[in-house]
Amino acid sequence: MEEFKHVLFIDIETVPCEADYSDLSEGLQKEWKRKAKFIKADNDADTDPAALFADKAGVYSEFAKVVCIGFGSLHKHENSWQIRLKSLTNDNEKVLLRDFCDMLERFANYHPDFRFCGHNIKEFDIPFLCRRLIINAMPLPASMQLSARKPWEVSHLDTLELWRFGDYKHYTSLVLLAEVLGIPSPKDDLDGSMVAPVFWKEKNLPRIAKYCLQDVLTTAKVFLKLKGIQDTIDPVFVNDQL
């Protein structure tokens, strides 16, 4: 079980890059109108670009930003697992990403061969972070320099991929996967669709961080179940190193 200490669980929370469509630059407004046509076609929606921006922009890295990054690392304590949880938040994305890179460097000093783990991180979290780093003119950490690698050379662990068992047509949300595996989801007053309003209207980053860490903890529990380990995990919240 020592290899699990080299796994860094991760989850991010993202929001539209501006509070309102009208706050976008003229160029981005034009590009969002183009994007909105495809979104409406895919969802059979009849919604104007401004309304779609508020509802949908948060998942498109060109029109969104990261406001919270949650981490977790497993440690064996006596006969049970503990997960050390830490969140980074900032309304200034560049500062947040710099803190993220610093944290990765510290973790890599202890675990040079560490692997990311998350739910759907190969298609969302990691690509999103890479794009936002580039947009902010920041270098990619070594662990995220993936452009020259073949798919089978990417060592990230993705609980969605593990659950698919090779079936790439199948998508299962983290909430559903936890439910079918008998993992109780922590009760909370947030879901993914509420993150943007909580950020832009309430300015409540601690509330978003709590929600993010709940997903990190749930992902770790799912990961152990998928590895055939039925142990419970005790969460430990830390402010410094993982």
Looking at residue 135, its pLDDT comes to 98
Q: Average model confidence (pLDDT) for the chain?
A: 89
Confidence band, pLDDT 50/70/90 cuts, at residue 150? low
Range 117-122 average pLDDT = 96
Amino acid at 35: K
Q: Where are the alpha helices (H) located in the chain, listed in sequence order?
A: 26-43, 49-56, 93-110, 126-135, 159-164, 174-180, 195-197, 205-226
Strands 80-89 and 64-77: antiparallel
| Integer Cα distance of 148 and 143 in angstroms | 13
| Integer Cα distance of 47 and 61 in angstroms | 21
Asked if residues 17 and 65 have their Cβ atoms less than 8 Å apart, the reply is yes
The CA–CA distances, whole Å, from 200 to 60, 64, 172, 181 equal 17, 12, 29, 35
Looking at residue 47, its pLDDT comes to 73
Which has more confidence, 51 or 149?
51
Q: Which of 9-18, 99-108, 178-187, 200-209 has the lowest mean pLDDT?
A: 178-187
pTM (predicted TM-score) = 0.92
Range 16-34 average pLDDT = 96
Looking at residue 153, its pLDDT comes to 62
Looking at residue 148, its pLDDT comes to 64
Length of the chain as a residue count = 242
Structural domain boundaries of the chain?
Answer: 2-17+63-237
For a pLDDT cut of 90, what percent of the chain falls above it?
Answer: 67
pLDDT tens digits along 53-78: 999 999 999 999 999 999 999 988 77
Superfamily of domain 2-17+63-237: Ribonuclease H-like superfamily/Ribonuclease H (3.30.420.10)
| Position 48 pLDDT exceeds 70 | yes
pLDDT tens digits along 159-212: 999 999 988 778 899 999 999 999 987 667 788 889 999 999 999 999 999 999
Looking at residue 43, its pLDDT comes to 59
| Integer Cα distance of 88 and 68 in angstroms | 6
Looking at residue 42, its pLDDT comes to 56
Which has more confidence, 220 or 168?
220
Looking at residue 236, its pLDDT comes to 82
Confidence band, pLDDT 50/70/90 cuts, at residue 136? very high
| Integer Cα distance of 54 and 15 in angstroms | 9
